Structure 1
């Protein structure tokens, strides 16, 4: 009933009541950076709450216009933002194993949870308990421009805006009908992307009101990694061998701990093992790449409507509502049995004589009793089998979002307005996991009756399972019984109420011509979030290959804000002081956490800044801001569970531990079997992934950040008219950062400098290993791996320079538009605790540095206009980067040792089209991408745009499959940073009248 009421409210608002309501105007065009005012007196600068057209922001804003969006042929907002230098790839369409059904933005590499996404200057409901907004819900058809303000903005917009805000500004007074359609397809004939939008708007009552409704549809097809040569086979980042690197393969392998089984051939060891640990038999690792995808399939239906109406000269009401339904599918390799402990009867008819004999040795059963009719059973500590017969694992995420706002503006005086508004939004993300092997069903199908002809427990239509043959030995009936689906539902809501009084005092300082402006107000926000897993998802290890258990979550908090801003013009139109102004702001926030025992807390943020134009053509600007970020619901309330993280090298693995008394003692203290330690047969983490255990912490408090920005804007008014140059230096430092240590930090904290006391040190004993193999990977039910608790001990920092150059001129035969946006990132550092290594990830890639953040990057667009035809070339540059293990401190601080750091240079060997290719996995060269667009105005009402993306068909770099984090290092490359699809063609048409 509650949901039906809200949907009914949305439909009524958009389709019936639009004509009697109104919406606030929030706009900030490219003139902001130049200081030129707009003619619209209601304009609010992104980064300020003061509604004065003469206010010039002291913080730089990057602006992407609707024209640029059209040339980019973007389907969703994430595709726009990823082209902006200084924006580091986050979750998006190129993330598969690690996707959660949402697209997010990561400003300055400080994390998607440290920036805000706004729509017309207002918050939207978060996508989940992590607090981030899903960019899939942004109505692109009505976007006038995108403002990206980087640097602290907590004073203006509240917590979460440590690294800045992304403000999507919609068209205020759209009138007419606009229909658009676009299609995109790769040169290989796959990855088709379709988008269609219909927008209808009208002014009414002599222009006193406006209403608009936009509906849209998008559909994107997957691109499989098996369809590209670079990713057909997994390539090891340490050996260069192209094959498969997952030990969960076909046929079944068994992990034993028995002195009578002397060899451990699965991991390539041929020496005698006197301790008797083994995994038998040996089969090649599984190649999961062809099942994975470079581009996630996506389908979206969206509806957005807004309206405003001037009841009188001093009263205006407004509304805005959106509804979106998105379906995203993540597709990865088939499920299986990942080191589970299972019991098998000797009377199982599918056992081969050799496997039965091995089981008898493991179980201590005499050869005479080791027969197909024996009713004895043997418990195998670790079973590995990839169940290709069950099909690929598919996680389908269906997200439905509703967000509604209603408000009124009242003119208190001619220059002061009161804006009171409220909003409510809900997001529901339902994940359905398909084609997962159920551990309980496995055991049921292996437990047979005395005759070995049927399941001892026939419940659910049990079918005896042939787990011991080659691919195809599991019949469709057997696969159907062990196959399961699971559902996890994530819900989030945000209720807001705000009152803002803004304008000017009506007087100015004698030396200035503009009045002093102000904004004061209060805001209330209520966040709630819940996670509802089904019974299968909540059991550790029940879903084969799904990671850890997903446990219920329910939490929320309330925020009470009071804030104020002041802009004071000091001087204007005087020698050396064409304009001088100062600004300041303060916000007090009180957080009340819903859960008993969780402390409430408060925070105060402030900003000061200024703008000085000695002459009309040159303006200097600077600001200092103290920002905060409150912990989100997930950081406060997420249950502690065991999952997966990336680690390719384990100090206890392999023969390097043999004879090293200190290292051996530590490995045994962590739970590794002594026999495996002595024999050097502990395997490396499977597929470069280790188990980690962590969750929320209800005792953590807010982060604190200091942000500096200093720059200038140059816009000559006589010579080179049409030129604008801006350069800004930024510096952001986050203390008390809510973080957990990287796997490399945890390994280094224990193994970096071993002593006799290390075997009892919490830094070492907190690591818990697979009790059978001694590895850091295995069943999440008994292998807890690396501890990753959340704390307030972290520190983040970054600094760099943004450069923007824009030039427009008439060449006579054509008009020229030339735009350049570049970023130089000096540092981007992360330290998990005061004693941890202060890691700098700029220019590096590794499992410790998630998404690639180059030192230099830029985008440059040149457009020539020939009347009804525009030709535009976009040049994107990504600086070279190198593997983190090559850094000078690799031996001491980055989690690597001289023996195991990645130093591979050579030729790819093994199988597949990459064999024979010369590679250097330690470095990725600089990349240049070119996109060529041509836009035709066929008639006054019809336009056509054609684009070739990746014009020169640049191939993605080959770095192997274990060089970095799974979400971003996929298919032997980094598809979120580099184009893995190849040359792509796009065409769009727009009809308006």
Structure 2
């Protein structure tokens, strides 16, 4: 509890600095709301990861964790636990360790909190208001400061094992921390290690609650049937494809009814379209084939993860007024997940052309394709249809799998001491993160398109099934004909040709030099004035390279290259001025204020430019942030507080310099109330400027004398 922290400070040799401010205070007295979570509460949760403790707090929106983080070509890879205060987005929450930054483990500049050994954590300080004036960019929603137990003596160790009630997702975690003093207490060393091994779970259909297939169904005819445009319902199923293949040519459907290919690829079977189905909608309620929704069946509810986090710190007392310290940290995570698989199959009114991009529209095949089931070819000949549209789900072919490996190194050193009644500190941080994305079984659009167009060879290729480009003369020796009909019927050679491996290898670096000073230079009407000031110079860089196919946009889902560098110089000052103290109707009245000036300079050798070009870009800007707070305690049991602040967030390099990328996105057509997948392009914008935020916070703290040790705060 915050008030318990204040009690510890009274008897400790050093004051405790709570993250709500740069001046020495305790959490209950701050004008900004501060939540302090101690090590005992962290241990009681039994969480295997520090982030699980943080994400349980009501002020945190737990939307990006090691089990929920999206995989693919975005800025935040799988396995990262990112903190999102007040639901404003993780990029607007600043995470610190002992008040200092760690190298980012994502393109968006965020740090994975699970790379800190939980055995060394003393407490968590969480500021749920604008804190940019005190701590800099990204603190729009607040700050999470992980405070390590630098006074640890002895050994702390724990072991934990768990498994889900479905019998999967086995997880084991070991945590070890040790601290020891040497040289008559003038040298103190601590070290910690966390190791975690988590296995995968089943997919959505491995759980009864998920297998009910609840979903949001688009109702295209709401004006006619009187039902809502969007309906939440069980049994929401995919209406445009099956793993073995679904016939989606409207002329065939009108003439012979719904038909799907058998798993052996030889015959046709009936397929019932469910309620509220329309040709342009990818969903229906009920109907044939439960349990094959490609938006659910391809993904594990929880992917496998291995995590190692190590930390070492040595602090030496050089004199009574001077200390030196050095620490080092190493973290590694290995995660595996899946990309979205092939989901082709939009119905097409003409029944002859592919509608939309490869991964969303139906795949059009000729009546002469030798892999067509004989019954299907016969039906096409009966109605004079030269081409057929096929809806195909990727689990009938290959499911894309991504391996995401992160290594992060950090070395920091510094001095701190007392001088003439002032305390000061100076530090240098060097950090490097290496991120490797390797995605297997990704559709190569050109190769896939050539492979599915199979024909009976002629000329030199007579007697063989070949790609159409090699019908009589071989022009692409690598091309192998791909059989889309059935499950497991495609040859290994065809799959190797039609699918490929996308690779993205990245390096992120951080260099950070900072200095701070705190003191009480004089007294005001209500007591001593506390002052803090400091300066920081920080450089960050990122270099992400991708494979040639991704660089050319050749896969259905592609990684993007990213190169950029930032230089930041900041100065800040903060003061706490007691106006009244121990007078009638004002046991405490004090004002807290802070201001920060930051200069940013960004550059990139290859940035997205106007008109689709790529070339060098640079930008610079200044940002000023401030905070003003008031604390008023009219009587012993009541304290009122409030702040107003101007905060900012500088654009990260992913937002500025990521090269254009094409991905598939689900959209809802408001004209027809139907949803579909479309190819969307996104990329960076080198002309971005900082976000500006204005925050107002007001609250009250009640500490009734009749109930000892009870404190209630509402903000």
TM-score normalised by L of structure 2: 0.81
Residue of structure 2 aligned with 1:69, choices 27, 34, 42 = 42
8 Å Cα contact 1:398/1:431 also seen in 2: yes
Alignment of 1:335-484 (within 5 A): 335=342, 338-339=359-360, 348-353=369-374, 355-356=376-377, 384-413=391-420, 415-445=421-451, 446-447=453-454, 449-450=457-458, 451=462, 453-455=464-466, 456=470, 462-467=479-484, 469-484=485-500
Structure 2 Cα separation of the partners of residues 256 and 139 of structure 1? 57
Contact 1:638 1:696 in 2 (8 A): yes
2:264 maps to none
Distance 1:361 1:561 in 2: 76
Pair 1:702 & 2:708 matched:
no
In terms of mean alpha carbon deviation, does 718-727 or 53-62 score higher? 53-62
Q: What is the CA-CA distance between 1:237 and the residue it aligns to?
A: 2.7
Does 2:208 correspond to 1:229?
yes
Aligned pair in 2 of structure 1 residues 213, 236: CA closer, same or farther (>3 Å)? Answer: closer
Matched, 1:570 2:596: no
Matched, 1:100 2:70: no
Shift of 1:310: 1.1
What residue number does 2:226 align with?
none
Question: What is the CA–CA distance in structure 1 between the aligned matches of 2:273 and 2:237, rounded to whole Å?
Answer: 17
Partner Cα distance (1:277, 1:300) in 2 = 44
Change in 2 beyond 3 A, CA 1:263/1:236 = farther
2:703 alignment counterpart: 715
Alpha-carbon distance, 1:75 to partner: 1.4
Aligned to 1:508: 523
Where does residue 650 of structure 1 map in the other structure?
669
What is the CA distance between 1:462 and its match in structure 2? 4.9
Partners of 1:314 and 1:131 lie apart in 2 by 36
| Secondary structure in structure 1 of the residue aligned to 2:145 | strand
Residues of 1 paired with 2:477 and 2:409: CA distance?
A: 39
Partner of 2:505: 489
Cα distance in 2 between the residues matched to 1:204 and 1:125: 31
Is residue 31–residue 37 contact of structure 1 (8 Å, CA) maintained in 2? no
What CA RMSD, in Å, does the superposition of the two structures yield over aligned residues? 3.5
Matched with 1:897 is none
Mark the CA change 1:432 to 1:526 in structure 2 (over 3 Å): closer, same or farther. same
**Structure 2: which 5+ residue stretches go unaligned?**
218-230, 260-270, 345-358, 605-615
Provide the residue aligned with 1:753 in structure 2: none
SS at match of 1:599: strand
Does 2:597 align with 1:588? Answer: yes
CA contact (8 A) 1:493 1:529 kept: yes
When residues 427 and 359 of structure 1 are mapped into structure 2, their CA distance, relative to the original with a 3 A threshold, is farther
| SS state at 1:474 partner | coil
Distance 1:593 1:331, change over 3 A: closer
Matched, 1:244 2:240: no
1:610 aligns with 630
- Provide closer, same or farther for how the CA distance between residues 192 and 132 of structure 1 changes in structure 2, counting only shifts above 3 A: same
Give the SS at the match of 1:600.
strand
Contact 1:88 1:108 in 2 (8 A): yes
User: What residue number does 1:725 align with?
Assistant: 712
Structure 2 Cα separation of the partners of residues 245 and 607 of structure 1: 52
Is residue 304–residue 322 contact of structure 1 (8 Å, CA) maintained in 2?
yes
Equivalence for 1:46: 19
How far apart are residue 92 of structure 1 and its match? 1.1
2:184 paired with 1:173 = no
Q: Give the Å deviation of 1:623.
A: 1.5
Q: Kindly report which structure 2 residues correspond to 1:88-167, keeping only aligned pairs within 5 A, or say none.
A: 88-95=61-68, 98=71, 100-101=77-78, 102-167=80-145
| 2:560 matched residue in structure 1 | 551
Question: Structure 1 204/287 Cα, relative in aligned 2: closer, same or farther at 3 Å?
Answer: same
C-alpha separation between the residues in 1 aligned to 2:549 and 2:302? 28
- Spell out, residue by residue over 1:870-907, the C-alpha distance to the aligned partner (whole angstroms, 9 max, x if none): xxxxxxxxxxxxxxxxxxxxxxxxxxxxxxxxxxxxxx
CA distance in 2, matches of 1:360, 1:532: 50
Which SS does the other structure have where 1:295 is aligned? coil
Cα 1:491–1:283 change in 2 (3 A) is farther
Deviations along 1:638-685, whole A, 9 cap, x unmatched?
2333324443x423448xxxxxxxxxxxxxxxxxxxxxxxxxxxxx33
For residue 277 of structure 1, report the CA deviation from its aligned partner: 11
How far 1:516 moved relative to its partner? 1.6
Contact 2:239/2:281 (8 A) holds in 1: no
Match of 1:330 in 2: 337
With over 3 angstroms needed to count, the CA separation of the structure-2 counterparts of 1:96 and 1:362, relative to structure 1, is farther
Alignment of 1:313 onto 2:320: yes
Provide closer, same or farther for how the CA distance between residues 359 and 412 of structure 1 changes in structure 2, counting only shifts above 3 A. Answer: farther
Match of 2:647 in 1: 627
Q: Does 1:561 align with 2:570?
A: yes
Distance 1:643 1:314 in 2: 58
Alpha-carbon distance, 1:443 to partner:
3.7
* 2:307 is equivalent to residue 300 of structure 1: yes
CA separation in 2, counterparts of 1:65 and 1:35?
12
- Counterpart-to-counterpart distance in 2, 1:96 and 1:143: 24
Distance in structure 2 (CA, Å) of the matches to 1:140 and 1:253: 51
Separation of aligned partners in 2, 1:410 and 1:96: 42
CA distance in 1, matches of 2:20, 2:416: 20
Quote the residue 2:534 is aligned against.
Answer: 521
SS at match of 2:125: strand
CA distance in 2, matches of 1:96, 1:175: 37
- Aligned-residue offset at 1:210: 0.8
Confirm or deny: 8 A CA contact 1:34 1:619 kept in the other structure: no
Give the Cα–Cα distance (whole angstroms) in 2 for the partners of residues 602 and 416 of structure 1. Answer: 30
